[in-house]
Homo-oligomer: A and B are copies of this chain.
Amino acid sequence: MNIGDVAERSGLPAKTIRYYEDIGLVKPLRSANGYRSFRDRDVHKPAFLGRARALGFSIEDCRNLLKLYEDDDRTSSEVKQIAEVQLDRIDRKIAELTEMRATLAHLVDACAGDHRPDCPILADLAAKEEEIALLNEAG
């Protein structure tokens, strides 16, 4: 099976699959003409990777998940641990974004958005210097 078919089945661009070969995530055979030749088990991997990436797993996580996937002696606790760490990363990211959102929404709300130059958004961005200095001293 050629890369185009694998791309279609996995939903990933061929370019990305080539990249995954580059970094050692998939290792298709080669046909006589130099084309990548994906065996059945090679065909599944890009799809697996696409799913894992869609859940936010890093490439290194993907590498480990794939290793576990192919390891008959794995334990589900190994897999679960990777997933829990990822869940935690997501939670922290959401918390960070939620805080950003609150601050920004507050500023947007306070801004008249009219023809005048006065703007609480710019004022806020500009005025925090003293606080930063204080924080740095304190921390």
Contacts and interface: CB of A to CB of B under 8 A. Distances in A.
A3 to B, nearest CB: 15
A16 interface: no
Nearest to A135: B11
A101 B90 contact: yes
B76 A136 contact: no
Going nearest first, the 10 A-B pairs with the smallest beta carbon separation are A80-B113, A76-B119, A77-B113, A47-B129, A11-B132, A80-B111, A51-B125, A79-B119, A75-B115, A90-B101
Majority SS at the chain A contact face: helix
A128 B52 CA distance: 11
Interface of A: 8-11, 44, 47-48, 50-52, 54-56, 65, 68-69, 71-77, 79-81, 83-84, 86-87, 90-91, 93-94, 97-98, 100-101, 103-105, 107-108, 111-119, 121-122, 124-126, 128-129, 132-133, 135-136
Contact of A55 (B69, B98, B100, B119): B100
A102 to B, nearest CB: 10
Given A79-B119, A125-B69, A135-B11, A54 B100 contact: yes
Contacts of A71: 117
